Structure 1
Amino acid sequence: MKSRNSNLAARQGQQGFTLVEMAVVLIVIGVIISAVMIGRDVQRNAEYVRIRQTFVNQWAEAYNAYRQRYGIPVGDSQARPRQMVNGANFMGATSLSGGDMTGVRPPPAVCSNGAGPNMARAAQTGVDLIDLMRQAGIELPPGRGTGMEDRYVYQDSNGNPQEIQICFQWNAPGTPSGSGNVMVITGLTPDLARSLASGLKGNADANSGTFRQEGVSSGTKTTGAQIARDWTVSNIADYSGAEASSYEAQVATVIAHYKMNQ
């Protein structure tokens, strides 16, 4: 009697999962994967908000503090103010009073630790953004640490590190991304750029308002309405050979111009 019961129990133990049990397992696995993906999205969005609030916005405040303290933009001349970033190194006309400035050649950008990658304009040699701010006694965001407050490292959607860098420059009238004094932000993935745009100007497009993609015009108009454009990657062509192979693992980045209010 014991032998028959033992054999029956053994045969029952050798039976696999039922369809119901397998369905339950698959559902549980799906829930876990969904939770992980949602958690990653929440974490990434929180990082984007942190970048905007504790880095980009604080650099805008630092720029405004410099302007209020000296009455000029960063890098302008107090003796001969031109009200443009790096105006002290402007090599154009001796007077900018009146007249059309559309064709005026802008001075180089003001950066620190070298210019941001793939910037359309070179940085001014011998002029350091962080040094100018320190000399004015202005507190800077922590960034990557002392001497690298102009940079911020984050992870792209592939989990690889990306580095943001802040510069400032003056754009002449007719510049596609807007005229006037702007903060230049390099190293933005399109996803991060959309998040910053939404937080800074209220919409995520790349060609309107105070936060635009470098080199992207406002677009054509149909029936009085501007066509919104997305943040698009165009700098992949700047990489070749071994550099391009290593670059493929990372999400390509864009450059933004954030118009300063003075």
Structure 2
Amino acid sequence: MTQQVKKPRQSGFTVLEMAVVLVIIGLVIGAVTIGTNVQRGASYQRMSSDFVQAWVTAYDRFYEGTGRPPGDVVAAPTGLVNGAVSSDLCGANLRNAMQAAGIEMPAGRAEGFEDRYVYLDGNGNPQEATVCFLAVPWSEPGATAGTHVTRNRNVMRIEGITPAIANLLDNMFDARSNASFGKMRQVGQHNITTTGRTAVNWSNTEIDRYSDAASRARDEDQVVVLNAYIKMSR
């Protein structure tokens, strides 16, 4: 009788098994990405409420309690921050003015650094935002439709925000993202008086990176940050 030789069983995955594995991997990656985006969005929302909005509230409380903006001259009030145009009230001077008026400041980065806020950008790199107050020429509609003029307005300058945060805050303050119109504008777009001017996008997006000494911008590098003005109510 002839003995049958058993063929060795082939090892490895079938096409169907490989497809199932790839689907599972895709679902895991998708879940991780969604979770990261949700966490980042929550972090940006906290920055908006606990830092940016909190400083707007602190400014309003100062004005309500003293009848003038921070740094204005008591003997001869001008209605302008620091009593002049383009005179920054920042750092220790800002904190001292708030403390002298008994105004509670946001927690910020830490005690003594209430005007700063540390966060992670879209690549997970640390960034630091800072706030100051000042008065600047601010573009507003003129007497004729389509024309614009500048008037001195008190603003909060926030420096070091990523494009994603800039758009989030802009939508929050203006219900739309526009770097040249509304209550929040990009520095450099706040005082444009060109007749018939149109909406302008923020100058950078989340794909823009800081390059290294050799001018190489890598995906994992820090996201480019922007500076903005937020007009105060008074």
Shift of 1:47: 1.1
Provide closer, same or farther for how the CA distance between residues 244 and 108 of structure 1 changes in structure 2, counting only shifts above 3 A: farther
**One-letter amino acid of the structure 2 residue matched with residue 72 of structure 1:** R
Shift of 1:75: 0.5
TM-score (norm. length: structure 2): 0.83
Provide closer, same or farther for how the CA distance between residues 177 and 143 of structure 1 changes in structure 2, counting only shifts above 3 A: farther
Match of 1:232 in 2: 203
**One-letter amino acid of the structure 1 residue matched with residue 46 of structure 2:** R
Deviates more, 1:200-209 or 1:20-29: 200-209
Match of 1:94 in 2: none
Kept in 2, the 8 Å contact 1:177–1:214? The answer is no
User: Is 1:163 aligned to 2:128, yes or no?
Assistant: yes
Aligned length: 218
Distance 1:177 1:24 in 2: 63
Match of 2:146 in 1: none
Provide closer, same or farther for how the CA distance between residues 83 and 46 of structure 1 changes in structure 2, counting only shifts above 3 A: same
Q: Return the structure number with greater helix share.
A: 1
Provide closer, same or farther for how the CA distance between residues 251 and 30 of structure 1 changes in structure 2, counting only shifts above 3 A: same
Match of 1:20 in 2: 16
Provide closer, same or farther for how the CA distance between residues 46 and 219 of structure 1 changes in structure 2, counting only shifts above 3 A: farther
Shift of 1:172: 2.3
Map 1:55-134 onto structure 2 (within 5 A). 55-87=51-83, 90=84, 106-112=85-91, 128-134=93-99
Match of 2:103 in 1: 138
Provide closer, same or farther for how the CA distance between residues 25 and 242 of structure 1 changes in structure 2, counting only shifts above 3 A: same
Match of 2:144 in 1: none
Match of 1:256 in 2: 228
Deviates more, 1:30-39 or 1:181-190: 30-39
Distance 1:20 1:246 in 2: 41
Provide closer, same or farther for how the CA distance between residues 177 and 156 of structure 1 changes in structure 2, counting only shifts above 3 A: farther
**The residue matched to 1:110 in structure 2 has which SS?**
coil
Moved over 4 A (4+): 173-179, 217-222, 239-248
**The residue matched to 2:35 in structure 1 has which SS?**
helix
Shift of 1:39: 1.0
Distance 2:18 2:198 in 1: 50
Shift of 1:107: 4.0
**The residue matched to 1:42 in structure 2 has which SS?**
helix
**Percent identity of paired positions between Structure 1 and Structure 2:** 41
- Which residue of the other structure, out of 141, 145, 153, is the alignment partner of 2:118? 153
Shift of 1:164: 0.4
Q: How far does the alpha carbon of each residue in 1:10-61 deviate from its partner, in whole angstroms, 9 at most, with x for none?
A: x32x421010100010011111111111111111111111111111111001
Kept in 1, the 8 Å contact 2:150–2:193? The answer is no
TM-score (norm. length: structure 1): 0.74
Provide closer, same or farther for how the CA distance between residues 180 and 35 of structure 1 changes in structure 2, counting only shifts above 3 A: same
**The residue matched to 1:86 in structure 2 has which SS?**
helix
Kept in 2, the 8 Å contact 1:189–1:253? The answer is yes
Structure 1 unmatched ranges of 5 or more: 91-105, 114-127
Distance 2:118 2:15 in 1: 48
Shift of 1:108: 1.7
